[in-house]
Amino acid sequence: MQEYIVQSGDTLSAIARRFLGASGNWQAIAQANNITNPNSLRVGQRLLIPTANAPRQPAAAPEVVMVRNTLQGIYPPTKTAISFTTVGSEVIAKLLNTGQQEPFAQTRGNGLYRLGIFKLRDFIGYGASLLQQVQLSTSEINVIQVTSANEGSLDAINTWDSQYLSFGIFQWTLGSAGQQGELPALLTKIKRLYPSEFQYYFGQFGVDVVSLDGVTGWLSLNGTRLVSDVDKNIMRQPIWALRFMIAGMDALVQSVQILHAVSRLDRFYFTPTQTLQGYTLSQLLNSEFAVALLLDHHVNRPSHVFGCVADAIARSGQTPAQVAQSAANQEAVIIQNYLQLRETYGGASAMTKSRDRAEQIRQSLNSGRLSAQRFSFRSNRQARLV
């Protein structure tokens, strides 16, 4: 081994990249120096650096659980050890107890992705009773079903981009380095509504959550809050993608995903704002079609929605007060202007594929899955707040 003295700005991953050839080898340095918290480096600290070809203690094979809740009942809790191989771009999980191999994701960049196979439209059919339990209205289900077509499946996973880990129909993220993410808020809701399922899929593997406002929060692993790049990079490992994927196949977890997706409307659709002269979006645009478009925009560019709608109303020759108080239905004109504006609203940070996403939602209107009638959107939020 050689010795290295920590300098200002050093991180374990940077030191590993310099001496061992890859930032992912930071754990070898941590093990050699009995470091349990990778963020605890101090300037002047002496580190022993293992040689790049030094033998390492074999790690125990990671484990996953099987899907617990299906509509056929509850499977007994089981765990199985897993190994991973990559063939071309396919990531393959091998169950060590049976030898069974399953491709479950594709490699990309620093991690992998899985589009998923469990679609929300299918769950609405087979999981209707669970949606009744979480008190979703028919309108809310219609809107989420259509909007999710622009996002992901219930078991979708992404670990390759700057958010480290994204999961589910709205691709809730762990958050960029140093930032909170939306994924912990989803996990908090799972923990509150179905604590045994949270423990089964996440808690027994050291995961816990701190959600400060029900919108974003922090993930912790074995008592360490994941904040820095080094911390969050752990969640790029294939084992975490597989664990979240399996959780996304659980019927109860799926129902909470849908509930959490709907609760996004509570954060902006019913909120008065000075941008709209103190009115709420629910007072101005209230068809199922309009709500689906607004939710789709908010998932992609949340900070743009109020301003874009305000500009669309102004372009229509109206004020928010006139729209809210008029007996005439101005929605079609406002929506037409809104869809034109949102393609470029925000300049370089405008909504991604705005026109394509709008067309996807418009097809649902044409097929009768959504209504364009004024006041056709019905929320069940008050019942859920009781």
* Residue 84, in any domain of the structure: no
- Containing domain of residue 326, as a range? 269-385
Q: Residues 181, 247: one domain?
A: yes
* Residue 115 counted as domain residue: no
Q: In sequence order, what E strands does 161-307 have?
A: 166-167, 172-173, 207-211, 217-221, 224-225
Q: Would 37 be classed as within a structural domain?
A: yes
Evaluate whether residue 319 is within a structural domain: yes
pLDDT tens-place string over residues 104-115:
999 998 899 999
Distance of CA 31 to the CA centre of its chain: 32
Instruction: State the pLDDT at residue 167.
Output: 97
Closest C-alpha among 344, 282, 356 to residue 315 = 344
Give the chain's domain count.
Answer: 3
- Please tell me the number of Cα atoms within 13 Å of 321 on its side-chain side: 3
Distances (CA, A) of 308 to 96, 138, 298, 313: 53, 27, 11, 9
Same domain for 186 and 167: yes
Whether residues 167 and 236 fall in one domain? yes
Give yes or no for residue 53 having a pLDDT over 70: no
Among 245, 261, 277, residue at a domain's last position: 261
User: Are 209 and 299 found together in one domain?
Assistant: no
Domain shared by 295 and 337, yes or no: yes
Q: How confident is the model at residue 180 (pLDDT cuts 50, 70, 90)?
A: very high
Choice among 142-156, 301-315, 361-375 with the minimum mean pLDDT:
142-156
Does residue 378 sit in the same domain as residue 273?
A: yes
For 273-310, what is each residue's pLDDT tens digit?
Answer: 999 999 999 999 999 999 999 999 998 999 999 999 99
Question: Are residues 253 and 286 located together in one domain of the fold?
Answer: no
Number of residues written out for the chain: 386
Nearest to 41 by CA among 315, 231, 182, 307: 231
114 located within any domain:
no
Closest residue by Cα to residue 13 from 22, 3, 4: 22
* pLDDT over 60 at 376, yes or no: yes
Q: Assign residue 189 a region: left if phi > 0, alpha if psi is -120 to 50, beta otherwise?
A: alpha
With respect to residue 21, please indicate whether it lies within any of the assigned structural domains. Answer: yes
Confirm whether 335 is domain-assigned: yes
